[in-house]
Structure 1
Amino acid sequence: MKMNKPNSEEIKVTSEVGRLRRLLIHSPDRGLGKVVPSKAQDWLFEDIVHLDTMRREEYDYYVKLLLYFLDPEKVKGKIAEIDADTTRAFYKPGNAGYFNSKKVIDLQSLLTDILKDEVVRTKLIASICGIEKCSHATQLELAQHEPEELARIFISGSQSDERMLFSPLPNLIFTRDIGIVINDHILLNRPAKAARTRESLLAQYIFFHHPLFADYRDKIIEIPDNARHFLIPEDEQLSDFNRSTLEGGDVMMVAPRHLLIGCSERTTLYAAQQTMKILFKKNVVDTITIVQIPKKRDYMHIDTVFTQVKKNVWVLLGSLARQGDDSRKKDVLHFFGPEVLGQKMKIMQFYKGLEQKPIEIENLEDLLADISRNDLGSTEDVKFIYSGNKEFPFGEREQWTDSCNLLALKDGVVIGYDRNDKTLEAFRAAGFRTIKAADLLAEFEAGSLSPDTITDTFIMLPSAELSRARGGSHCMSMPMLRDEA
């Protein structure tokens, strides 16, 4: 493996599996505890969660694992001390005991930083009050808060005295959806749903105003809307050919010059086309593959149906895999598959310049195998691990709880949820070790294993509450720097 020596501010991602060096996250905030059943669907949250359990018994393991791999000085030899602190100061941005890493970065910390600038602060308060239709009195009240508390309010929608000023942003824990790094460029999203408008605005201000991104401001890409969108009849505005929406879960940087874009429930063909034009014009990539999946809530983004585990290993949902596979005909769900509903999966590959015409790729396995062999240069046999071990009804059941949504910390070492038993069986059959997050941290602390020596491992994250949010470890991360794969 080629190794980078990253500087403190470098931003570059050229694959899904190179050793992770820096990423953007957002720990569950008090806004998640404000979601009520009557508004859960409007706020794009599938269920109400028990916030304290999600924080203390699940997401906290995610943070400790990330720090052990990316910034071990923050946690090595300190796990017992961190766990004993009932105030959770270690995990809360703005607290004296906060881990404050430059490699595992909480979006709330970046927001706090830019709010210390009076000009940015004034503009952002006005912008948010405009989209949230706040009164002038509320705008004046917000201006009185210190940057740390103002950042919390903008994200959670509520003040420390529990008063709600506007809706929370429960989906902000899925930082991948706000943007994605493509080589040394940053693509910002255009959310499909109004509930995520404030997220997009906060991301825009952070990327254009925080010093961390100062050297990359001319490399930030915003997807244009249809120039005549305001002239389009209302009944045509929702068409995929007129609407420009894109979310990070539908974008994968799979190789240095190859990008995947999913067209899904949240990302439109128009946005994919506009993104492709910009990236080819800027010479950011040479190949863009459009993966069109059925517009179903079950899938939402392409990273809910497949992610990469290793240069030659992928995990995916069998019912969207190779067409005509005899094993699918044994599955009762075969009769309800996407092709029967007139929503067959389609894959088209496009190339920069006019020399090579676009080609259609028959199935997902062919695409992924080609990436492994020809883009990443893998000489090993390409392996596919299927959700639910391709057994009925576990494939779809476990995909719903993010069996295919994994974050690679390094080639062959991934974080996923502990609840997908059949998928974990499939990983073990493929030669991977599966281990609980707590047990792995104990091995790290004992010195019997380290992030540098660990290989071919599925790290099981506690997930009773996290899985209710309908997003896995891949969704909960925005990688900003990886080694080359």
Structure 2
Amino acid sequence: MVNNNHLELNVTSEIGTLRALLIHSPDSGLGKVVPSKAQDWLFEDIVHLDTLRVNEYDYYVKLLMYFLDGDKIKGKLKDIDAGRGFYKPDDKAFHASYKVIEMQLLLSQILEDADIRTKLVAAVCAIENCNYRLQEQLNSTEPVELAKIFISGSIDDANHMIFAPIPNLIFSRDIGIIIGKHILINKPAKKARARETLLARYIFFNHPMFAAYRGNILEIPETVQHFLRPGDEQDEKTTLEGGDVMVVSPKHVIIGCSERTSASGANEAIKLLFRNNVVDKVTIVKIPHKRDYMHIDTIFTQVKRNVWVLLGSLAITQAAVDEQEPISWFVDKKLKHRPEIIQFFRDGSQPKNFNSLEDLLDDISRVDLKSTTPTKFIYSGANTFPYDAREQWTDSCNLLALKEGVVLGYDRNDKTVEAFKQSGFETIKVAELLEQLENGSASIDTIKDTLILMPSSELSRARGGFHCMSLPLIRDIVA
């Protein structure tokens, strides 16, 4: 059930039919990323905002609406396109949906409460080091406009920046994750994401949509006396981001230790999940701390109960790597140190080790999801150098399942698209699919085993795929 007053949270897999999710469509802040600050703000490049919005991300919203909230879009596509697509919540023409839920809408709604507004303004001003007069000005700003300011960093007009934008909010997965009926809020590794986490925390704790689950919100604590630790190394911080957390079955969660999630953060998450009886087992996957693989969902995601897409160079066993033809002139030796994988159990059983990602994912398919057919792997770039690395960089492994077997990915990853076709999947460009859904020649109920290809010239510059750009709130249970 979904409405503006109540939400029945439930996510127990990566592939159950998606019923509701939280997104943040591109705001003006993405158009303010400057080259000198791009890496500080966790971007590899600057993007062209209008192209990203109208020609790319808008297709994502339209497709989500057809699959999750069809009555709000069916028969209206031409009118929506004539108005340059979907609007942001500060526009009167905004197409509000409580299944494809815009984070900025929820933020503006909680800011209508004067007490919450005062507290959140104070919190934002504290972390952004604002002066007293600016804080007073923000306190008197209307909720819809204030939500826009908190996200874009701009006040009065688009060119008056009062603090940095938070362009990474487009990657809503990283602010938290739903595990069953619990909400695990992240603890970001980078300062650039502190404000978006603060906004998310206020939404989850204060919006009536989540009122029934306030007792189920889990927050990662800092380690005791963390303020006495010397240095500023990643491994010494307690950090966790949603891209490193996957709910693969009702009682099993994978947590990655990566560039963005520390061993300390993973350990605190395990304690919270076990203490609150959220899951029975947690598998830790430790991957190289490299920008190439910032989260585990950049190296693998699930397509069907027995099908996964993944980066071959980090997935196979050491022996399999050693048996390949000698191609040492391009092989980074660090890649030959396969991920460390260890599984922990709530009942205190002896932890279990896995030799490779393939072994782990096969175990999930066969044991957790009761698949009776052999596990299949589709590799980034067809597992061929240099396409495997190039296409992983542009998120060939970062796919979002709308339902089992129907996933979204970028159209630029040609070799990975071919690998899907060779594995028996259909592929279709999103514009063509939308036209078919609108004229009735296709139905969301009949689409099976399909990779939907999304335009990606600007979106891919932001270094995140559709798994990153989604925070599932409700998925059907996988039978």
TM-based fold match above 0.5: yes
Contact in 2 for aligned 1:332/1:392 (Cα 8 Å): no
Aligned to 1:223: 220
Task: Tell me how far apart the structure 1 counterparts of residues 335 and 434 of structure 2 sit (CA, whole Å).
Answer: 44
Aligned to 2:233: 238
One-letter amino acid matched to 1:98: F
One-letter amino acid matched to 1:415: L
| Alpha-carbon displacement from aligned partner over 1:182-218 (angstroms, at most 9, x marks no partner) | 0100000000011111011111111100001100000
Aligned to 1:165: 162
The residue matched to 1:298 in structure 2 has which SS?
helix
Task: Tell me how far apart the structure 2 counterparts of residues 434 and 331 of structure 1 sit (CA, whole Å).
Answer: 32
Aligned to 2:95: 99
Which residue, 293, 297, 303 being the options, matches 1:299?
A: 293
| Alpha-carbon displacement from aligned partner over 1:240-275 (angstroms, at most 9, x marks no partner) | 2x4210000000000000000000000011111111
Question: How far apart are residue 160 of structure 1 and its match?
Answer: 4.3
RMSD: 1.4
Aligned to 1:132: 128
One-letter amino acid matched to 2:414: D
Aligned to 1:434: 427
1:290 aligns with 2:287: no
The residue matched to 2:407 in structure 1 has which SS?
strand
Task: Tell me how far apart the structure 2 counterparts of residues 302 and 460 of structure 1 sit (CA, whole Å).
Answer: 22
Change (3 A) 1:333 1:482: farther
Task: Tell me how far apart the structure 1 counterparts of residues 26 and 42 of structure 2 sit (CA, whole Å).
Answer: 15
Contact in 2 for aligned 1:24/1:477 (Cα 8 Å): yes
Contact in 2 for aligned 1:265/1:297 (Cα 8 Å): yes
Aligned to 1:257: 251
One-letter amino acid matched to 1:91: Y
Task: Tell me how far apart the structure 2 counterparts of residues 441 and 218 of structure 1 sit (CA, whole Å).
Answer: 40
One-letter amino acid matched to 2:39: Q
Change (3 A) 1:446 1:330: farther
Question: How far apart are residue 386 of structure 1 and its match?
Answer: 0.1
Question: How far apart are residue 84 of structure 1 and its match?
Answer: 0.9
Aligned to 1:121: 117
Question: How far apart are residue 333 of structure 1 and its match?
Answer: 6.8
Aligned to 2:447: 454
Question: How far apart are residue 321 of structure 1 and its match?
Answer: 1.1
Aligned to 1:463: 456
The within-5 A match list for 1:263-282 is: 263-282=257-276
Aligned to 1:382: 375
1:74 aligns with 2:72: yes
Task: Tell me how far apart the structure 2 counterparts of residues 422 and 335 of structure 1 sit (CA, whole Å).
Answer: 20
Aligned to 2:24: 26
The residue matched to 1:473 in structure 2 has which SS?
coil
Which residue, 193, 200, 215 being the options, matches 1:203?
A: 200
1:482 aligns with 2:475: yes
Unaligned runs of 5+ in 2: none
The within-5 A match list for 1:19-58 is: 19-58=17-56
Change (3 A) 1:325 1:407: same
Aligned to 2:210: 213
Change (3 A) 1:63 1:239: closer
Task: Tell me how far apart the structure 2 counterparts of residues 18 and 331 of structure 1 sit (CA, whole Å).
Answer: 40
Aligned to 2:308: 314
Question: How far apart are residue 144 of structure 1 and its match?
Answer: 2.6
Change (3 A) 1:396 1:339: closer
Aligned to 2:13: 15
Give me the TM-score of the superposition, normalised by structure 2.
Answer: 0.96
Aligned to 2:172: 175
Contact in 1 for aligned 2:90/2:148 (Cα 8 Å): no
Aligned to 1:352: 346
Aligned to 1:369: 362
Task: Tell me how far apart the structure 2 counterparts of residues 212 and 333 of structure 1 sit (CA, whole Å).
Answer: 55
Task: Tell me how far apart the structure 2 counterparts of residues 245 and 321 of structure 1 sit (CA, whole Å).
Answer: 24
Unaligned runs of 5+ in 1: none
Question: How far apart are residue 95 of structure 1 and its match?
Answer: 2.1
Change (3 A) 1:163 1:335: same
Change (3 A) 1:95 1:319: same
The residue matched to 1:113 in structure 2 has which SS?
helix
1:142 aligns with 2:138: yes
Question: How far apart are residue 91 of structure 1 and its match?
Answer: 2.5
Task: Tell me how far apart the structure 1 counterparts of residues 364 and 330 of structure 2 sit (CA, whole Å).
Answer: 27
Change (3 A) 1:330 1:159: farther
Task: Tell me how far apart the structure 1 counterparts of residues 225 and 347 of structure 2 sit (CA, whole Å).
Answer: 27
The residue matched to 1:338 in structure 2 has which SS?
helix
Contact in 2 for aligned 1:319/1:334 (Cα 8 Å): no
Contact in 2 for aligned 1:15/1:482 (Cα 8 Å): yes
Task: Tell me how far apart the structure 2 counterparts of residues 172 and 330 of structure 1 sit (CA, whole Å).
Answer: 42
Contact in 2 for aligned 1:177/1:475 (Cα 8 Å): yes
Contact in 2 for aligned 1:361/1:367 (Cα 8 Å): yes
| Alpha-carbon displacement from aligned partner over 1:341-371 (angstroms, at most 9, x marks no partner) | xx541000111122x2001100001100110
| Alpha-carbon displacement from aligned partner over 1:292-341 (angstroms, at most 9, x marks no partner) | 0000000000000000011110000011011222575455576314255x
Question: How far apart are residue 94 of structure 1 and its match?
Answer: 2.9
Question: How far apart are residue 54 of structure 1 and its match?
Answer: 0.2
The residue matched to 2:291 in structure 1 has which SS?
coil
One-letter amino acid matched to 1:216: Y
Question: How far apart are residue 377 of structure 1 and its match?
Answer: 1.0
Task: Tell me how far apart the structure 1 counterparts of residues 33 and 325 of structure 2 sit (CA, whole Å).
Answer: 41
The residue matched to 1:416 in structure 2 has which SS?
strand
Aligned to 1:152: 148
Task: Tell me how far apart the structure 2 counterparts of residues 400 and 470 of structure 1 sit (CA, whole Å).
Answer: 7
Question: How far apart are residue 224 of structure 1 and its match?
Answer: 0.7
How many residues in Structure 1 have an aligned counterpart in Structure 2?
A: 473
Aligned to 2:394: 401
Question: How far apart are residue 425 of structure 1 and its match?
Answer: 0.2
Task: Tell me how far apart the structure 1 counterparts of residues 234 and 81 of structure 2 sit (CA, whole Å).
Answer: 50
The residue matched to 1:280 in structure 2 has which SS?
helix
Task: Tell me how far apart the structure 1 counterparts of residues 448 and 412 of structure 2 sit (CA, whole Å).
Answer: 22
